[in-house]
Amino acid sequence: MITGTLVHDVLEKLMALPPQERTPDTAWELLRTLGAKTVDDLPKYGLAPAQAKDLKEKSAESLKGYFEIEDPRDVQIDAGGVEPDIRTEISGVRFNGRIDRITEGEVRRVTDYKTGKRPDAAYLPDTLRQVMLYAAALASIEKPVDEVELLYLNNAERVRRPAYSAAIDRATSDLVENRSKMESAFSNHAWLATPGGICRTCAFRSVCPTQHSDTPTPGSSECNSTLQRQGLSQRLRQAS
């Protein structure tokens, strides 16, 4: 996660420069500067300074992969096309998002950088759903795009798809359905856990019933005490 944030920050600043200044030397200098600050902040994330080497290697690998995919000097971006905030409503659901970039030219395209591994073909539609939602959000504010793309930096691979209506409709339908489930769960105070690979990195794994059969009931005083001993606390939220 930290590596991904660092690489995204580097590419954000790189793409905000005039095209002729988006050189590899500039990118590596940005990585050194921003990376030094990230290394200083490692203890804030509960990581040891010794893990700085791993962070540097992974971020360098991602940046190298980026330049194997494209030359940023050839990418046309209008003002406001780097990390724009999108706030709109899609089929009655409020949608907030930040897009990595929107390119212009003959084809208008939404791009999302990925520092993780490219998923198997069976799981790729789930990953594409997010950028299709960005396309739906932009269409709702009368700024439609022609394509969406994912740049898998570690694999040095690009995945492009047309922003066709059927795919956008499927992504929108999933959004509406998931929002309905969330509202129902909030009203009933009952949440359905869906374990997966990401559970390995969850800070609350030690008190999750899907991971351990003898964990205290979520929300109980025993559960809260366990979280407090680990330096974690519950953040109360209101429905929105």
Q: Render pLDDT for 172-220 as a digit per residue (tens, 0 to 9).
A: 999 999 999 989 988 887 777 788 888 888 888 888 888 888 888 877 8
SS3 state of residue 217: coil
C-alpha closest to that of 172 among 130, 141, 119: 130
More confident residue, 6 or 202: 6
Q: Where do we find the tokens 């930040």?
A: 98
* Res. 240: pLDDT tops 60: no
Mean pLDDT (the chain) is 89
- Alpha-carbon span 103 to 114, nearest angstrom: 17
- Please choose, from the candidates 170, 57, 167, 155, the residue with its C-alpha nearest in 3D space to the C-alpha of residue 113: 155
Question: Do residues 126 and 89 lie in contact, with contact meaning Cβ atoms separated by under 8 Å?
Answer: no
Query: How do residues 87-107 score in pLDDT, each as one tens digit?
Result: 999 999 999 999 999 999 889
pLDDT of residue 47: 72
Choose between 150 and 2: higher pLDDT. Answer: 150
Is residue 234's pLDDT more than 70?
Answer: no
Output the CA torsion sign for 20, 25, 26, 27.
positive
